[in-house]
Amino acid sequence: MKVVSIIIPVYNVEEYIHECIGSVIKQSYRDLEIFLINDGSTDKSGDICKEIANQDNRIIYIEKENGGLSSARNYGLKKATGDFVFFLDSDDYLAPDAIETLIKEQERSNSDIVSSGFEITKNRAEKKAEKKESTFITGDSSLFFLQKISNHACAKLYKKKIFEGIFYPENQHYEDVATTFKLYDKAQKVSYTENGLYCYRIREGAITRTITNQDINDLWKAYNNIKDYFSIPDNIQSFYEMTVLYTIYSRLLRSSCNRKEFTEHEKRIFSELRTFNFKLSYFIGKSACYPKLLLLKYHLTKPIIKLLSLKCYLQFCRKKITFKKK
C-alpha cells in the first residue's frame, strides 16, 4: 500500500483541532503518516495534539517557532516520507473516505495530482461529513489553468516527487496562488471531482480576514511570480494569469485600502490588462471564469471602481454617511 503524508499546520485552534485530527485518524485508508506541526501556538492546541499523538503511532508531533502557514507546510514537506502528500488546515476536517477515494482515483488514472471539491460549513452540527460517490474528470494541466480546479493547496493528493524544488513562499499570504500553478505545470496528468470530500470551515479569526493593502501587495507578488515563471506563456497560461489579475481586482473591491492605495492598485490593474494580446473569445464555454474576465478586459466595471474609489475616499477622510428611512 502507498503511504500518504498528511501535513496539518497547527496554530491556536484548540476549539477545532480535536475534530480535525479525529477525521484523519478515522479515515478508511489506514496507511497514513500524520504530521501535526505546532507553529508556536499559545493556547491548548499543543497539549491536545500531544495527547492524541500518544494514542496513535502514525502521528508525528512537531513543535516549532511561529513562522506562519507556509513555514509549517514547508517543514512538513521536508519531513514527509510518504509516496503522496495531502495538506489539511487545522480548523477543517475530512469526509471518512476522503483519502481512500483520492487514492483509488490515483491508482485508476495514475494522475500526479487528484483534487476534490469543498464542503462549506460553519460547524459540524450544521453539515456532517458523509461518504459519497465521486465522479472524476481526468485530463492534463489545462484543467487547472482554465480554473476548473482551484488554487488552494488543500483538498489535493499530490505525488510527493512533484514537490522537488518547490516550496511555499514564507511571510506571505496567498502562498497557494504563488505555488499551486507550479505543481500543475509539472503534472502530466490530473484528476478532479466536484464532490466535497474536504470540509472547509468558515470561522471568525481565520487567516481569511479583512483584506488589507498588504494582502493586495502579496497577491501582486504571486502574480509577478507567475509572470516570471512563464516567460513566454501560451494562451491557456495567459488566461490563467488573467484570472489571477481578476482575483486581485475582486479582492481590491472588498479591501480596506484607503483612496490612495486603491487608486494605485486600480491603475496597475488596467496597465497590466493592456499587456494581454490573446483572444479571450477562444475561451467561451471553456471556463466559468470567461464572463468575469470579459468584464475586466473591456473595462466595463470602471464605473463601479469609481464609485468604490469615492467610498474609499470618504472612509479615508473619516466621514460617515447614514441612510435613514423618511
pLDDT tens sequence across 102-161 = 999 999 999 999 999 999 887 654 455 556 677 999 999 999 999 999 999 999 999 999
Please report, rounded to a whole number, the percentage of residues in the chain having pLDDT higher than 90. Answer: 75
Contact (Cβ atoms closer than 8 angstroms) between residue 197 and residue 98: yes
* Distance (Å) of CA 179 to CA 53, 58, 152, 167, 174: 30, 28, 9, 7, 9
The per-residue pLDDT for 2 is 94
The per-residue pLDDT for 296 is 86
Average pLDDT over residues 227-250: 93
Structure confidence at residue 295 as a pLDDT band (50, 70, 90): confident
Higher pLDDT, 259 or 87: 87
The per-residue pLDDT of the chain, averaged, comes to: 89
Nearest CA among 128, 112, 91 for reference residue 16: 91
Locate the domains of the chain by residue range. 4-201, 213-316
Q: How many residues does the chain have?
A: 326
Higher pLDDT, 323 or 247: 247
Return the exposure string of 28-64: e unless at least 16 CB atoms fall within 10 Å of the residue's CB, then b.
ebeebbbbbbbbbbeeebbebbeebbeeeeebbbbee
Residue type, 58: R
pLDDT of 4 strictly over 60: yes
State the Cα–Cα distance between residues 134 and 255, nearest whole angstrom.
36
Average pLDDT over residues 38-66: 97
Structure confidence at residue 322 as a pLDDT band (50, 70, 90): very low
The per-residue pLDDT for 138 is 96
Contact (Cβ atoms closer than 8 angstroms) between residue 88 and residue 4: no
Contact (Cβ atoms closer than 8 angstroms) between residue 113 and residue 156: yes
Q: How does pLDDT run across 278-292, given as a tens digit for each residue?
A: 899 999 999 999 999
Q: Between 3.90.1150.10, 3.40.50.620, 3.40.50.300, 3.90.550.10, what CATH number should domain 4-201 receive?
A: 3.90.550.10
Please report, rounded to a whole number, the percentage of residues in the chain having pLDDT higher than 70. Answer: 86
Q: How does pLDDT run across 6-43, given as a tens digit for each residue?
A: 999 999 999 999 999 999 999 999 999 999 999 999 99
Is 181 exposed, middle or buried, given 0-12, 13-18 or 19+ CB atoms closer than 10 A? buried
pLDDT of 3 strictly over 80: yes
Average pLDDT over residues 260-288: 91
The per-residue pLDDT for 297 is 80
The per-residue pLDDT for 320 is 45
Structure confidence at residue 186 as a pLDDT band (50, 70, 90): very high
Nearest CA among 122, 124, 90, 93 for reference residue 12: 90
The count of other CB atoms within 10 Å of the CB of residue 187 is 18
Q: What are phi and psi of 259, to 5 degrees?
A: -60, -45
Structure confidence at residue 307 as a pLDDT band (50, 70, 90): low
The per-residue pLDDT for 321 is 43
Q: What is the 3-state secondary structure (H, E, C) of the chain?
A: CCCEEEEEEECCCCCCHHHHHHHHHCCCCCCEEEEEEEECCCCCHHHHHHHHHCCCCCEEEEEECCCCHHHHHHHHHHHCCCCEEEECCCCCEECCCHHHHHHHHHHHHCCCEEECCEEEECCCCCCCCCCCCCCCEEECCHHHHCCCCCCCCCCEEEEHHHHCCCCCCCCCCCCCCCCHHHHHHHCCCEEECCCCCEEEECCCCCCCCCECHHHHHHHHHHHHHHHHHCCCCCHHHHHHHHHHHHHHHHHHHCECCCHHHHHHHHHHHHHHHCCCCCCHHHHCCCCCCHHHHHHHHCCCCHHHHHHHHHHHHHHHCCCCCCCCCC
pLDDT of 319 strictly over 50: no
Pairing status of strand 118-121 against strand 137-139 = unpaired
